Amino acid sequence: MKQKWTIIIAGAITGLMAILLVKYGNPANMGYCIACFLRDISGGLGLQKVATVQYIRPEIIGMVLGAFGAAVATREFKSLGGSSALTRFLLGFIAMIGMLVFLGCPLRAILRLAGGDLNALWGIAGLIAGVGLGLPFLRKGFSLGRAMPQNKSNGYVFIGMVITVFILLLAKPAYIIFSTEGPASMRAPLALALMAGVIVGVLAQRSRLCLAGGIRDFILFRDSYLLYGFAAILIVALIGNLTMGTFKLGFEGQPIAHSDGPWNFLGMALAGLCAVLLGGCPLRQLISASEGNTDSAVTVLGLIAGAAFAHNFGLAASAKGVPAAGQTAVLIGFAAVFVIAFFVCKANLSVRGVKADAGSQGRERASLS
Amino acid sequence: MQEVKDARGLLCPEPLLIVKKEMDRLGTGTIKVLVDSAAARDNISRLAKNQKWNIDITQDGEEFLLQLTK
């Protein structure tokens, strides 16, 4: 019961902060969006050159530092890695293309719905379908393997990278680009955005908030713990939007969204499929990377690379809809994930057949007691 | 000697799937599982409560031995 309250409070505060961020400058229905913000960072660092989506979002920096602080304080910070890092990079890359076709991560899908954007329903349905599609692979032995303890310095590399980016944000050297028009030009004051990030970072670390995980646990075990968090975000953000007068019900003319239902569905389904194979949605990856998991850090880099690629090659959707190249990319993404999942399952099963139990290889002492 | 399931280094849901599989296989009895993250510990505890298994947690350094009984 106590646990349930932790996640409900975490969700409620996240919803509240999201409304505050939009009130003080963030784009509508984008208090937080891990996908959009990582994309903005890719632009801010000059990895993609689309003039409307370039900014180093302090929310992301805050989340990482908040989660890092919480993990250190609770002795949960641990350098881990070595479980299929490159495959995770690729899954992160593909997930990002799906999310940029939908225009949001699972967290923003909830925030869009709370703003009355009914297109988000297509996205959420897609997310559920994607997670459902990935579960049979997990049941059939899909596993990216075990993360092993690593030299302690490894876990701090990601934190160091984020602090470096933070310094770039504060110093604003000429080669760092901040949009003067479009979504990335709309931003809450740095201090507020940073603080909101820290708060959600701490809460997400403590409560393990993850929407893909919530859907997954519900389908697998009828466990609704993680879903309570998202219900709380939805309710608080909905009340917030209604009181602020920013609630607008409908499909057409929604902020930073398009109304192409099937592609909203497919984009998010691809993201959900990748998320379930990766063990969590982009938010969870970000938090896990901050807890010292270098595989998750590589996944975050994959997300950023995917965002840069999506914008450099015109794959990302806009208010006008999904470009043909983006549609093709989503279909290729599905094909690639199926091929990866198939071969990972096959390899795991054959190893198991030969060596009786691949899982305990190299970790024999587990069976001693 | 009771076999200990090793779920160290695995990201969720894999530790959960390992435990759930054992629960379904055994019905009642004892399951021992070793994890090395607080997230896995909490998730398995929640699963145990959900499925009405008792859980006993012992911490050994950075690892947790979870003993589930029903």
Name the residue type at position A131.
Answer: V
Over residues A140-158, the mean pLDDT reads 92
pTM above 0.90, yes or no: yes
DSSP state of B27: S
Cα–Cα distance between B32 and B55 in angstroms, integer? Answer: 10
Note the pLDDT tens digit of each residue in A251-271: 999 999 999 999 999 999 999
Cα–Cα distance between A54 and A165 in angstroms, integer? Answer: 13
The set of residues, in sequence order, having a beta carbon less than 8 Å from that of A353 and lying 6+ positions away, is none
Cα–Cα distance between A271 and A100 in angstroms, integer? Answer: 10
Banded pLDDT at A25 (limits 50, 70, 90): very high
Q: Is a pLDDT exceeding 60 seen at residue A359?
A: no
Question: Comparing C-alpha atoms, which of A55, A34, A67, A69 is closest to residue A169?
Answer: A55
Compute how many other C-beta atoms are within 10 angstroms of the C-beta atom of residue A35.
30
The three-state secondary structure class of B61 is coil
Asked if B50's CB is within 8 angstroms of A78's CB, the reply is no
Domain boundaries, chain B: 2-67
The contacts found for B48-52 with CB under 8 angstroms, 24 or more apart, are B48/B19, B50/A221, B50/A222, B50/A223, B51/A221, B51/B20, B51/B23
Q: What is the mean pLDDT of chain A?
A: 92
Asked if A221's CB is within 8 angstroms of B16's CB, the reply is yes
The contacts found for B27-30 with CB under 8 angstroms, 24 or more apart, are B27/B70, B28/B70, B29/B69, B29/B70, B30/B2, B30/B67, B30/B68, B30/B69
Banded pLDDT at A2 (limits 50, 70, 90): low
Written as six digits, the tokens of A6 are 């932790």
Cα–Cα distance between A132 and A342 in angstroms, integer? Answer: 16
Asked if A221's CB is within 8 angstroms of B65's CB, the reply is no
The three-state secondary structure class of B10 is coil
Question: Comparing C-alpha atoms, which of A84, A86, A109, A91 is closest to residue A34?
Answer: A109
Determine the distance in angstroms separating the CA of B14 from the nearest CA of chain A, rounded to an integer: 8
Note the pLDDT tens digit of each residue in A74-128: 999 999 999 999 999 999 999 999 999 999 999 999 999 999 999 999 999 999 9
Determine the distance in angstroms separating the CA of B11 from the nearest CA of chain A, rounded to an integer: 6
Asked if B62's CB is within 8 angstroms of A280's CB, the reply is no
Domain boundaries, chain A: 1-357
Note the pLDDT tens digit of each residue in A206-237: 988 888 889 988 998 888 888 999 999 999 99
Note the pLDDT tens digit of each residue in A286-295: 999 999 999 9
- How large is the ipTM? 0.85
Determine the distance in angstroms separating the CA of A109 from the nearest CA of chain B, rounded to an integer: 23
Written as six digits, the tokens of A206 are 């403590």
- The highest-level CATH class for domain B2-67 is alpha beta
